[in-house]
Amino acid sequence: MSRFTSIAMDASSRFSRGLPSALISVATGLIAAVVALLRATVPTFAGQGPHPDGDRYLCQLGTDAVEPVLKDAPRYWDFALFEWQHTGSPPASPCIPYPSSQIWVLRALEWFSSAISGRPGTLDFHWLVIANGLLIGLIVGLFASAANRASLAVRLLGSALMLLILSDPVFASYAAGPMGEYVGLVGVALVGVGTVYYSTFGRQWWGVLLVGAGGWLVVTSKVQMITLLVPLAAMLLWIPISSRRGRRRRRSVTGAFTGRIIGAAMVVVFVASAGWMLSNNPKEFQQINPWELISVGILGPSHTPAQDLEEMGFPAEMAKYAGKTAGDEGSVMHTPEWREYGDRMNYGTVARFLLAHPDRVWPLFNTGAYDFFVAQPTYMGANEPGHGPKKQPAFSLIAAVGKAINGLHFFVVGGALAFTLGALARRRSQRGSPAWGFANAALLMAAFTVVQFITAVFGEAIENTKHLVFAILSSTLVVPFIAVSLLQPTGKLDGDGAPGEDAPADGAVASEEGRAADTEP
């Protein structure tokens, strides 16, 4: 172990020893909230240029149209539009509603904005930007509290990384718009921090609350997020809720079953919520998304699009639509072929073709890896990279790193490194210790990254960076979780009162409770 690591792990400063841990966590959270608010509002409020998909959420707020107050401003992509209002007039086009928990956020925002302004039917996203800054402070404070066994330097380092990531305009700008990505991003952050608590003995019920709330937001934010049920369910069923009652041997036998009841119940709730999302997914997009994967993802880079179409059961004449999205001018969407061959525009057709031509998977992965690294503040998760006028300038660490590294090889190496370091951190940590919890959170975030990368790449093949935003956030959160896990005591019994095998991460008090439990009849 290096001298620096030893100092960081074992030598808390006199200042940190003299202050209660809770006070440090609260102060860290408050400072983080202030910094996040300043970053989002100074010199002016930073926001996201509206995307056409935002209309799918706004149209569910009533029967009339919801329009921006600045009617002369470009409606999409160009500028952040913070103030919206009900017009009282019918919408110009039919509402195709996206199922999402974001609708409840928009309803709450409408109620609050209307009450504050005195103008019914108003949505002012300035308030959601402010609320998001406070929420970032809360999450950072929870992170600092979870790292209470680390030195002050490590706690502040990890908290600073969390603040830098969550307040980055690539993510935080979603608070200034109606898109469902916002609640999904909040959910991922809550699940990450909640996993630390869920894995730490003595704090697991806080973990149940955080993972429960965050997990529900994740699976109900967008249909694409349902795939995260796989790693999330694995974590919940893998880590039991520890029981400290009864003899140790009896606890080890019964705990394997009873300790996973809570996790199993949460999985059931998440699966039911995912089922609701799927059942309410607009039928139009059940055909549009796989067709765009075919037309843009497969036919776009193909040298033989007509031959590929015939192999998939489409007429060769449809090769003229290669590379076009469903919304492009002259697309197949408004032709007889759209109805005649609609039953073949599905993921089964795509899967059979790619299984027969595995070499065609490479361009999809390569394009996805490129798009993974091009998120930037002027992109706002909506535009094509490099197109359209710039929005409000803001520094983005995510964008800076993305400019330095790009490509599938960086994604693969980075992913392998994340899983390796996460596994090493978990292996060296005592089960139930905070270090073990941070390692589990890092591994879960790495799994989230891989699952969402695959989902985005094989989901639609257009607007990849927009669809990859959850994978991008998850990948960045791996860094503070691994760092704090490696730079704090492992939790093994030592002279400083570190928790033992069955003890919660509360030091000597938890150890005493564990010994008392072992003597119970």
Please give the share of the chain, as a percent, with pLDDT higher than 90.
55
> How many CB atoms sit inside 10 A of residue 289's CB?
21
- Position 365 pLDDT exceeds 50: yes
Residue 205: CB atoms within 10 A of its CB come to: 12
d(CA 297, CA 22): 51
Residue-level pLDDT at 431:
92
Weakest-pLDDT range from 13-27, 56-70, 354-368, 439-453: 13-27
Q: Are 170 and 220 in contact (CB under 8 A)?
A: no
pLDDT of residue 17: 46
Q: 């079953």: which residue's tokens?
A: 257
What's the pLDDT at 374? 85
Q: Is the pLDDT of residue 184 over 60?
A: yes
Nearest-angstrom CA–CA distance, 457 and 461: 6
Give residue 257's pLDDT. 66
Give the pLDDT band of residue 78 (cuts 50, 70, 90): confident
pLDDT for the residue numbered 332: 86
Q: How far apart are CA 384 and CA 131, in angstroms?
A: 29
Render pLDDT for 465-513 as a digit per residue (tens, 0 to 9).
888 999 999 999 999 999 999 999 886 434 333 333 333 334 333 443 3
Q: How far apart are CA 81 and CA 58, in angstroms?
A: 13
- Give the model's pLDDT for residue 498: 38
Average pLDDT over residues 183-201: 97
Q: How confident is the model at residue 439 (pLDDT cuts 50, 70, 90)?
A: very high
Please report which confidence band the pLDDT of residue 517 belongs to, taking 50, 70 and 90 as the band edges: very low
Q: What pLDDT, on a 0 to 100 scale, did the predictor assign at position 380? A: 53
Note the pLDDT of residue 407: 87
Compute the average pLDDT of residues 287-316: 90
pLDDT digits (tens, 9 = 90+) for 389-420: 555 557 788 888 888 888 899 999 999 999 99
% of the chain beyond a pLDDT of 70? 84
- Residues paired with 85 in a beta bridge: 67, 122
Q: How far is CA 480 from the centre of its chain?
A: 15
Over 80: is that where the pLDDT of 265 sits?
A: yes
Question: Average pLDDT for residues 73-77, to the nearest whole number?
Answer: 76
Instruction: Supply the pLDDT for residue 300.
Output: 87
Let me know: does 478 contact 446? Beta carbons within 8 Å.
yes
What average pLDDT does the chain have? 85
Is residue 61 within 8 Å of 86, Cβ to Cβ?
A: yes
pLDDT of residue 243: 62
Q: What is the pLDDT of residue 126?
A: 95
Q: Which residue has the higher pLDDT, 266 or 387?
A: 266
* Amino acid 11: pLDDT: 44
Distance CA 210, CA 191 (A): 6
Q: How confident is the model at residue 9 (pLDDT cuts 50, 70, 90)?
A: very low
Task: Reply yes or no on whether the pLDDT at 16 is more than 80.
Answer: no
Question: What are the tens digits of pLDDT across the range 91-116?
Answer: 888 888 999 999 999 999 999 999 99
